[in-house]
A and B are shown apart, each in its own frame.
Chain A
Amino acid sequence: MRLAKLIRRTGRVAEPAPELSTEPAGAFRPDRALAGSAQVRHVDCGSCNGCEVEVGAVFGPVYDAERYGARLVASPRHADVLLVTGVVTQNMREPLRRTVDATPRPRVVVAVGDCAVDGGVFRDGYGVAGFVDEVVGVDLTVPGCPPEPEAIVEALRRVTGR
C-alpha cells in the first residue's frame, strides 16, 4: 500500500525527450535493420566506474533510453550495440575481442568516455593494451570524462533513429 502511494505521488520522472539531432556523426551510417530497436550490452574494459554511473543513469527513469528502443541485455548474442567503457587493459583485450565476435552482425561498437576513445588519462599505462579502436573497430564515439548521459542517449538514438 505504501508503495502504491509512493507511485502515485511520484508520477512520471522521465524528462521530455529532446530533439533528435540530424547532423551526421562522422562516417557513421545507422544500419536500417537496427531502426527502432537496439539491444545494448555494456562491456567494462577497465574503467574507473565513472562512465558506469552515467551508463546506469541512461537506463534509469530520468533519461530512460528504453523509450528510444534501446534495452540492456544479458548476452552479446542478444545485443546489437556494445557500449565499451574504459581503456582496454591487458586482461580485457581478449575478452573484448571475444565479446565483439560473439555479437551477431549488424552490430555497432560505441566507445564511451575519453579512456575508451583515446586512452584518456590512462593512455600508455603499464597495464594498458591500448584504447578500444586499436583492439576492435569503433563505429561511434562518445567523448567526455565521464560523458553526459544525454551524449550517450544521443549516440544510442543515432543507432535506433528514434
Chain B
Amino acid sequence: MSGVSAGIATQLVLAAVALVAATLAPARMRSHVAGAACAGLGVAGAVTGLVAMSGGNPGAGLQIPVTLPLGLPLEPLLLAPDRLGGVFLALAGAVAAVTAVYGIGYATGPAASRSGWAAFAVFILGMQLVPAASDVVSFLVAWETMAIGSTVLLLADHGARSEVVRATQWYAVMTHASFLLLLAGFAVLVAETGGTSFATIAAAGVSGTSASVAFVLLLGGFATKAGLVPVHVWLPRAHPEAPSHVSAAMSAAMVKMGVYGVLLAALRLLPQGPAWWAGLLLVLALASALYGILQASVATDLKRLLAYSTTENVGLILVAVAVALLLRGAGDEPVADVALTAALLLTVSHAAFKTVLFLGAGAILHATGERDLDRLGGLAAVMPTTSLTFGVAALGAAALPVTSGFAAEWVLLQSLIHGDGRDDVALAILLPITVAIVALTAGLALLTFVKAYGIAFLARPRSPAAEHGHEGGRSMRAAMLLGAAAVVGLGLAPGPVAAGLAEAVGASGIEVVGVLGVSLPAVDALLDPVALILLAAIVLAPVVVVHLAAARRAPRRDVDLAWGCGGVRVSPRMQYTATSYAEPLVRVFDDALQPSRDVEVSHADESRYLVSQVRFRQRVTDLVADRAYEPIVRATLGIGEGARRIQNGSIHRYLGFSFTALVLVLLAVTW
C-alpha cells in the first residue's frame, strides 16, 4: 500500500472521527474536539497531496471495487491523485487545516452546532477527494459531497439573518447547475470513450464536435464553481453570509476546484483542443478579472469586496491557463510552460492570502459585528495581530513585493510579454489586450486593498462598535499568523515553489537560482526577493543613521489633534469613508458600473434656504446579476404561480386529474 493510498485512507478515517466527534462531543468542548479532528483531516490531506505532487508512484491509490446494477461501463472507483491533483489536494488540505484551527475559536452558535461541525467535516472531505478522484464517478460523488457540505454550512445563520436564506438559494441553484453541466459533459466523454476512468478517457483522445461539446459543458460547470463572469453571481451573495472560516475555505480552496477542473479538462482529458477553446477561456477570464476587481474596488461590504476579488483572481489564474493553451497551440512551448507555472503560482498565492483576508474579516466581524467598511476604522490600535496579518495579506492581494502575489504576477507578466505575436494575428491582438487588462486589474487591486486596509484599520473609528474592537481568541490569531507566514514565505522563496509546481504540470524551464530566487531561462528573466531585500537594506542603512542622529537632536512631540485647518473639534465623520474613497473611480467607470445615487436635502423649518441635513445614498449593483438573471428568476416564479393554480388542494380536482389521466391512457392503448 503506497504512501498516497495510505494518506487517502487516513483522510477517510479522520473524516469519520470528525463526524463522530461533532455529533457525540458535549457542547462546551465540541468545537475543540471536532476542530482538532478537522485540522488533522486537513493536515493529512496536505501531506498526501505533497507526496502525490512529488510523484510518489503514479497511479497508486485507493481502489474501491463497486458494481452498480446498471448497464453503464463502470470501471472501479479510483482515488489516485496524479501530480496536478496532488497540488490541489495539498492546497485544499492546508487551507482546511488553517480554517479548522481558526474555527475552534471562532465558531459560535449554529456554526458550532453538531450539524455545523459535521457539515464542515463533510465539506473538507469532499474538497480533498475531488482532486484525488481519478475517475468520473468518484469525481462527481466527491464534487457533490463538497457541494452539500458547503450548502449546509452556508445555511448556518439562517435563523439570525434573512439574507442567508436567499444567498443559500442562489448558491444551491448555481452549484447544482454546475453539477448538471459537469454530469452532461462527462456523460459525453464516457459515451465517446466507453470508460469512466480519466486514464481511459485521456488515452482515447476524444476529438471533433463531441470533444468541443464536452469541453464547453465542462467549462460551464467548472466556471460556475470557479465564479467566472457571468456565472459568478453566487460568490458575492454566499461569501458574505457564510461564517467567516467557511467563506475562507470556500473562497481559497473550493473555488480552486473549479480551476482544477478546467486544468483537468484542458490538459489531461482533452489536451489537443482547437485554439478557439483557449480564446473562449481567455475572454471569459479577462472579463472576470476586470469586472471582479471593478466591483471589488467600489464595494463597501468587506466580505463582498473579498468575494469579488476572488472572481478577479480566478480570472487572472485562468488568463494564465488560456494564454498557456494559446501559446502551446502556436508552438511556443517554453513560454507556455512559464504561463502554466504562473497559473499554479497564482492559485497557491491566492489561496494563502485570501484565507488570511477572510479570517481577518471574520475577526473584525467577531469583534465589532460590522462588515461595512464605512462604519469601521482605527482597528490597528485595538487589533494589532489582525491588523498585521490582514496588512500582509492585503500586500499579497495587491501583488506588491515581497509577497506571494508579487512573485506570481511577475511570472504571469513575464509569460505574457514574451509570447511572440509577429507571425500569429490572434496572439498579436490578444496579447497586448491581455497585458493591458491585467495591468489595469493590478492597478485597481492596489486601490481596492489600500482602501480595505486603510479604511478598516487606520484613521479613527467611524462607529462605537469599531472603537471597542478587541482581538480574537488564541486559535484565531494563530491561524491568521500561520496564513500570513505562508504569504510571506511563498513570496520570499518563489524558486523552490515554482519549480515544484512546474514539475507537477510537467512544465520545464523553471529553475531555482541564488538562495530562493526563480529564474526563467525561456524568457531570460530572474527574480530573487531575498537579494532585493538585501539591496533595500543596504540603501536604507545610511538613511537610518541620519534619521537616528536627527532623532537624538529633535525628539518627537505629541499633539492632541491632527491638523484640520485649526478646526476646534475633529469628528470621525469628517474622514473619508470607503464610499468616498472609491468615488473618483465610480465617476471614471460610470458607464460600466451605472451606480444609482439619490440625494435628499431636508430644509430647516425657519427657511427653505437653510439646509438642516443632506442625505446622500449611492448603490452599485451587480449589473450582470440584474440584467441576466432577474428575468430568469421572474420567469421561474411565474411558472411556480401557474403550478399553484393547478394544485389548489381540493381532493376532487386531484381525483379528476388521475381520472383524466386514466382515460387518456386507455384511449392511447386502445388507439
Query: Which A residues fall within an 8 A CB radius of B?
Result: 43, 75-77, 94-96, 98-99, 101-102, 104-105
> Closest CB of chain B to A129's CB: distance in Å?
14
Asked, given contacts A94-B568, A95-B568, A98-B568, whether A104 binds B557 with beta carbons under 8 Å apart, the answer is: yes
> Closest CB of chain B to A80's CB: distance in Å?
13
| Complex A-B: 15 CB contacts under 8 Å | A43-B566, A76-B563, A77-B563, A94-B566, A95-B566, A95-B567, A98-B566, A98-B567, A98-B568, A102-B559, A102-B561, A102-B563, A102-B566, A104-B557, A105-B554
> Closest CB of chain B to A104's CB: distance in Å?
7
CB <8 Å contact, A96 and B566: yes
Contacts of B568 in A (CB 8 A): 94-95, 98
Contacts of B567 in A (CB 8 A): 95, 98
> Closest CB of chain A to B13's CB: distance in Å?
64
> Closest CB of chain B to A162's CB: distance in Å?
23
Q: Which residue of B lies closest to A78 (CB)?
A: B563
Q: Which residue of B lies closest to A95 (CB)?
A: B566
> Closest CB of chain B to A96's CB: distance in Å?
7
> Closest CB of chain A to B546's CB: distance in Å?
16
> Closest CB of chain B to A88's CB: distance in Å?
12
Q: How far is the CA of A75 from the CA of B561 in the complex (A)?
A: 14
Residues B535-554 near A (CB distance < 8 A): 554
Q: Which residue of A lies closest to B569 (CB)?
A: A94
Q: How far is the CA of A126 from the CA of B557 in the complex (A)?
A: 36
Query: Which B residues fall within an 8 A CB radius of A?
Result: 554, 557, 559, 561, 563, 566-568
Question: Per DSSP, are chain A's interface residues mostly helix, strand or loop, or mixed?
Answer: helix
A77, A95, A102 pick with most chain B CB within 10 angstroms? A102
Contacts of B561 in A (CB 8 A): 98, 102
> Closest CB of chain A to B65's CB: distance in Å?
77
> Closest CB of chain B to A33's CB: distance in Å?
9
Contacts of B563 in A (CB 8 A): 75-77, 102
Contacts of A94 in B (CB 8 A): 566, 568
> Nearest 3 CB-CB pairs, A to B?
A95-B566, A99-B566, A98-B566
Q: How far is the CA of A21 from the CA of B567 in the complex (A)?
A: 38
Q: Which residue of B lies closest to A33 (CB)?
A: B554
B557, B563, B568 pick with most chain A CB within 10 angstroms? B563
Q: How far is the CA of A95 from the CA of B557 in the complex (A)?
A: 19
> Closest CB of chain B to A20's CB: distance in Å?
28
Q: A43-B566, A98-B567 are in contact. List 8 more A-B contacts (CB 8 A).
A: A75-B563, A94-B566, A94-B568, A98-B568, A99-B566, A102-B559, A102-B566, A105-B554
B557, B559, B561 pick with most chain A CB within 10 angstroms? B559
Q: How far is the CA of A99 from the CA of B561 in the complex (A)?
A: 10
Q: How far is the CA of A77 from the CA of B566 in the complex (A)?
A: 11
Q: Which residue of B lies closest to A106 (CB)?
A: B554
